[in-house]
A and B are shown apart, each in its own frame.
Chain A
Amino acid sequence: MPLEGLQDPLRFSRKAPPCAVVIYGANGDLTKRKLMPALYRLAFEGRLAPGFAVIGVSRTAMSDDDFRDRMKHSVKKYLEDSPFDENLWLSFAKGLTYIAGDVGQPSSYGELAKHLEGVAAERQTGGNVLFYLSTQPSQYAQIAEGLGSVDLNTPPEGNSDAWRRIVIEKPFGHDLKSAGELNTRLQAVFRESDIYRIDHYLGKETVQNIMAFRFGNGIFEPLWNRTYVDHVQITAAESIGVEGRGAYYQEAGALRDMIQNHLLQVMATVSMEPASSFTSDAVRDERAKLLRAIRIMRPDQVAANSVAGQYGPGRSGSEQVPGFRQETGVDPQSHTDTYAAVTFLVDNWRWSGVPFYIRTGKALPKRVTEIAIQFRTAPLAMFRKATAGAEALPNVLILRIQPEEGISLRFASKRPGSGMQIRPVSMDFNYGSSFGERSPSAYETLLLDAITGDATLYTRQDMVEASWTAVQPILDYWSTQKFDFPNYAAGSWGPAASDEMLARWGHEWRRP
């Protein structure tokens, strides 16, 4: 711990303590595209300790220098909004080393332990190690057990201040049962507090801003309940198809890939109760409570409250695009959902009776992620005539997560002139224009959090299991259905059944 007397929380940015980061899957796409650029950027900002080290592990045989060259190439290629500093790279690269090893080989863990001892002495990492598993999910438990077999899960003897943490990427299991099994095996080796389940959505600035918006302002929270909120829509739309990830996607589907993790976490952030403090467990307790309060659907309710879709050929902008079944690596008879929409209800006092509509899909008309909170209309339609007899447009608060991060509020305003003509107008807050400073990438935020031991934005075991519990009945029901896929054209807003699902509640999807 740095000395208290030299701290200046008002001015200093958060710094990482000395440590080694061991990346399993160091030759993989995530390491190249996200992890290494994020670590380099942290170094660029002076947030890493001088004795920082990265140890890459994967099956490919290569020397330390080969690894450094590959990583340099990746950092140059994928570094966003940042210059590449050759001098800094030379210094950063001194801390990069590589071990070729098969996770199935017990001896590889012993080699890693020995290597780490050398790194700790040479780079003065203080014995702190963050294990980052960027591998096939099926290898998570095996790697954790391998690390445990050579005591890499606990601090070295005589250095009880050191820490050992493990980061895993989603998916955390492929259903409730397998998620439970994975948790059991991980927790047999690492303490739950040392297991960091990464959900990069929670690392996005705008998702974090939801909490600042809700709990840092006094005027919204009183309206944030069933009395004033009519319904909530959460949309995560991708304009592209699976684009080469067909084989992976075929096994996952939209419900598993997006709703079970990212979007339920977003929903929990939007609807959770205020935490007693902004500490990791206090915030996660509230998120977990909300996830547990989601009403579990009976099989007969699933059909009315969920919609599966798969895109067929269509047009994306001016381009003709193939259907999912025509994508490379996809079974021509695939029953995978590339679109999923679900109506969730939350059984607590705040949200009872308020539908939360969540939709996500590939090959939709545009890339957009947003949360729209639609408020109830004014109790008296005083200006009905002024709106040409139409129902008064309700107020909508839109929290835009990407691409134009910001917040908008739609409200009614009188048009200039002698008559009383009412027109909806939008009051916009744009993140980019109000804060010119660069936003860190989600991986920069989350890596720094893991290194500094802040798990607030990471998912806990009970949250994972609660979200699987919420989607499991849908997965079970869908697995028994033979869908008439494809049921929406690429470039459209999804299947008609999705509109019908909302129409049953008297609502309709926004067109973002």
Chain B
Amino acid sequence: MSCEVIKPDRILQQLAELWKDTARPEADADGDGLLRACAMTLVSFVDDEEDAMALGETLALLMREHPSRSIVVRLREGEDFLESRVFAQCWKPFGHRQQICCEQVEISATMNHLQDVAAVVGPLAVPDLPRLILLRSARIVRAGALRKILRLGDKIIVDSSLPGAPGFGELGALLESGHIAGDLAWTRITELRALIAQVIGDRVPKNIIIEYEGREAGAETRYLEAWLASGLPDTVVRLKGSGGQGTGVPAVVRVDDEITICLTPECAEIEIGQLKQHAPLAVGSADELLNAELKIVVHDEIFERVLNRITA
């Protein structure tokens, strides 16, 4: 087990060297040059058990829309461990000659070094650009160490539908302390919410029933209920579970006796009276959800209102 001394200055020096190396004529075979792109700092906290390849793919896909200095912190149990490495993530957009490259820093550490990690990551953030934290580490949540990493970012993004993720209570506490938070469970229902708003139009329904699969409503279903209830104060919004096994995600939305929206993972079948219509719904892969959430680096009033309603 190694435990190196990590200094931000040294990592920044390594990054500078990396760019020189990447731009060397022999490394740039086509000779069309590289474009260094950076629009934010994205710090991802993950547990060491998480599939490194899947995470790498997600981050690589994100780079196209959100070129960033990406810092991945892998947290593990066990003996004293701390090390870092830097590398570049490059791609060539279709039809373009020039490569676009973003820089990545990976830090592996045991939980006892969380404080050190925070001290390293802070100075590595790109000045004057937004700093976002993607929290996928259940270890941090279990250890109650959320606050230790909050100061590193302008916004923290979680997925409350995942096991071990911060729940509504923790998210509510973040909002109360003035932080900007995003929840991918909320992002996951954006398309559905937009569709419901469009289909309802200017009607003021008396009743809306959200049917979900399973015994317990999942985070998405609860968000949907709270959003409808807060947006339509004169409407009765109810949840109805199918019982048995199920993920708790919304399956059908019924608006009075007039509108039915049946949901499958990729689309919605809408019935308005005699009119039947098929509408595609974005699948919401990990990178698509993050992509949508990274676009928002301000307080999201509607999300906060809905979350407050749930936690009240």
Binding site for B on A (CB under 8 A): 1-3, 5-8, 10-13, 15, 17-18, 44, 46, 49-51, 85, 87-88, 90-91, 94, 122-124, 428, 430, 432-437
Contact = CB atoms under 8 A, between A and B. Distances in A.
Question: Which has the most chain B C-beta neighbours within 10 Å: A7, A10, A90?
Answer: A10
Given A2-B201, A3-B204, A433-B35, A10 B267 contact: no
A345 to B, nearest CB: 38
Contact of A88 (B197, B280, B302): B280
B202 interface: yes
B67 interface: yes
B230 interface: yes
A434 B37 contact: yes
Contact of B39 (A6, A17, A50, A434): A434
A15 B198 contact: yes
A176 to B, nearest CB: 42
Contacts of A94: 277
Nearest to B39: A434
Nearest to B281: A46
Contact of A44 (B195, B230, B280): B280
B96 to A, nearest CB: 7
A6 B199 contact: no
Interface string B160-201: 000000000000000000000000000000110111111111
A10 B302 contact: yes
Given A49-B198, A50-B277, A432-B93, A5 B37 contact: no
B291 to A, nearest CB: 8
A131 B98 CA distance: 44
Contacts of A18: 201
B130 to A, nearest CB: 14
A123 B274 CA distance: 9
Given A11-B190, A90-B278, 10 more contacts: A2-B197, A3-B202, A6-B228, A8-B193, A11-B292, A12-B190, A12-B193, A46-B195, A51-B275, A433-B93
Chain A interface SS verdict (over half): loop
Given A10-B296, A12-B194, A434-B67, A87 B267 contact: yes
A408 to B, nearest CB: 12
B65 A435 contact: yes
Nearest to A12: B194
10 contacts: A3-B203, A6-B196, A8-B197, A8-B302, A15-B197, A49-B201, A91-B279, A122-B274, A122-B275, A123-B275
Given A10-B302, A51-B272, A123-B275, A436 B197 contact: no
A8 B198 contact: no
Contacts of B236: none
B281 A5 contact: no
A12 B203 CA distance: 19
B235 to A, nearest CB: 9
A432 B35 CA distance: 12
Contacts, number: 110
Chain B interface SS verdict (over half): mixed
B149 to A, nearest CB: 25
A77 B157 CA distance: 41
A82 B279 CA distance: 16
B275 A50 contact: yes
Contacts of A6: 193, 196-197, 200, 227-228, 231-232
Contacts of A15: 194, 197-198
Contacts of B63: 436
A11 B201 CA distance: 17
Nearest to A91: B278
Contacts of A8: 190, 193-194, 197, 302
B285 to A, nearest CB: 15
Question: Which has the most chain A C-beta neighbours within 10 Å: B98, B190, B272, B279?
Answer: B279
A120 to B, nearest CB: 12
A5 B281 CA distance: 22
A3 B193 CA distance: 13
